[in-house]
Amino acid sequence: MSTERITHLVGGTAWTGVSERTSKVYNPATGQVTGELDLASAATVDEVVKVAHDASKAWGRTSLTKRAQVLFAFRELLNANKEKIAALITAEHGKVLSDALGEVTRGQEVVEFACGIPHLLKGGFSENVSTNVDVYSIRQPLGAVAVISPFNFPAMVPLWFVPIAVACGNSVVIKPSEKDPSAVNAVAALWKEAGLPDGVVNVVHGDKEAVDRLLEHPDIKAVSFVGSTPIAKYVYENGTKNGKRVQALGGAKNHMVVLPDADLDLTADAAVNAGFGSAGERCMAISAVIAVEPVADDLIGKITERMVQLRTGDGTRGCDMGPLVTGEHRDKVVGYVEAGVEAGAELTVDGRDGPFDGADDGFWLGPTLFDKVTPDMSIYTDEIFGPVLSVVRVPSYDAALDLVNSNPYGNGTAIFTNDGGAARRYQTEVEVGMVGVNVPIPVPMAYYSFGGWKNSLFGDSHAHGTEGVHFFTRGKVVTSRWLDPSHGGLNLGFPTHD
């Protein structure tokens, strides 16, 4: 089978240089190599950043009306091409087509939020603070910014940041994951078709060498990152050391607390959906169910009934769950399953042996369930990032809360209960950035901001929403006094804005 060359997009066109290093792109459902990806050197990153830096000057001066027009056009193009982009995600990431389509749709919500940029950038005005003196505030773009995105949401995560950065008047250099790079290229091409000037959105593919150069380049003013906690911390420390504004979203160990009064059918559905959707490769996946006794036995029975009905296989065949992204990652997750057995957890459902509806060489692991997990086991302490769900039994609400709050991560959590007082107490007391009440994956809408606490976030700004607008702009306050009134000429035409 011939492989496709996948390369950088610079100034709206494919890069024409020769890469000294490349990496292979796989179809996880077959194990076959489908692409050869150019990996950028530091010099190539410099080339891309220069294009972005130059483009940012004119784009930052472009009117809000024109920027909004481009955003609306991009929104329509993204909607028209979402099936194509979803197919690229499935081909390189492995998630089933319906999940890939949902990813693009969630990203589109941020585009729609960014279409309101004229309202979002309105400043404040105070008249006559002193005699004939007015004070007002404005927000201005930063310049060229970088977005470093992970493999698990190759379209959605860039769409968390790029539309807002662009709407605010910045140019962007996107560094996607090497594992599934094609979706980002396809989305970037739509920006050009929407009328965005060349160089405002660029894509540079690469590994640590590219990341390090973006973190140190003087013309990159801000960095947005999503990935594992160790790398998020690295990006934050090195980006801020070089004077950049950084928002680095890290890993998670998301807990679902189930109280004895919960609707167990609803809860079991939610646990399966949140634990095994996208093969558990989500930073918002539920990986630990905290069952407040005496609910555990009944809940585990209902979860097991649902798990055995799931089909794991090729994402194009209408399966419920696809493969893991690489063979290496699959082996790592299998290692956690083996470690859980060795530590004494009860393996209630073993997903290692299938059956799998796909090629023999696909990177398969089925839904896996552990019971009687204790907080010292690696399947509890570590972010596995795979279809492994652990049930921890606790005697009370207070014990559940203490377990969640003592965890070093604080990304997302959920509580399932019919007790409004308990839910309200939990949302107040839990030390986590995003909370769901009878909602297993509490990803907020685009006009709110996404992000966790503790080791799940480095930096002060969450993604999208008003925090995203503030991250991609700088505030300025102007104090002015005009001694004489000014008069314009006569013009009886209807006023227009360009």
8 Å CB contact between 6 and 35: yes
> For every residue of 388-456, which 3-state class applies, written as one string?
EEEEEEECCHHHHHHHHHCCCEECEEEEECCCHHHHHHHHHHCCCCEEEECCCCCCCCCCCCECCEECC
Tokens of 129: 């603070």
CA-CA distance, 80 to 73, in Å (whole number)? 11
CA-CA distance, 117 to 104, in Å (whole number)? 21
Tens-digit pLDDT profile for residues 359-377: 999 999 999 999 999 999 9
Question: What is the SS3 assignment for 394?
Answer: strand
319 annotated active-site: no
Question: What is the SS3 assignment for 81?
Answer: coil
What average pLDDT does range 176-204 have in this prediction?
98
Angle at 364 between CA 359 and CA 368, to 5 degrees: 145
Q: What is the DSSP letter of 426?
A: H
Q: Tell me, what's the pLDDT at 485?
A: 64
In the block, residue with structure tokens 């309202």 = 119
Determine how many CB atoms are found less than 10 A away from the CB of residue 152: 24
* Helix, strand, coil distribution of the chain in percent, nearest 5: 40, 25, 40
Taking all residues of the chain, what is their mean pLDDT, rounded to a whole number? 96
CA-CA distance, 404 to 409, in Å (whole number)? 9
Please spell the DSSP secondary structure of 236-249, one letter per residue. Answer: HHHHHHTT-EEEEE
In one-letter notation, the amino acid at residue 29 is: A
Q: Tell me, what's the pLDDT at 425?
A: 98
What average pLDDT does range 368-395 have in this prediction?
98
Tens-digit pLDDT profile for residues 271-327: 999 999 999 999 999 999 999 999 999 999 999 999 999 999 999 999 999 999 999
Helix (H) or strand (E) holding 287: strand 286-292
Please spell the DSSP secondary structure of 151-218, one letter per residue. Answer: SSSTTHHHHHHHHHHHHTT-EEEEE--SSS-HHHHHHHHHHHHTTPPTTSEEE---SHHHHHHHHH-T
Of the pLDDT bands very low, low, confident and very high (cuts 50, 70, 90), residue 494 is: confident
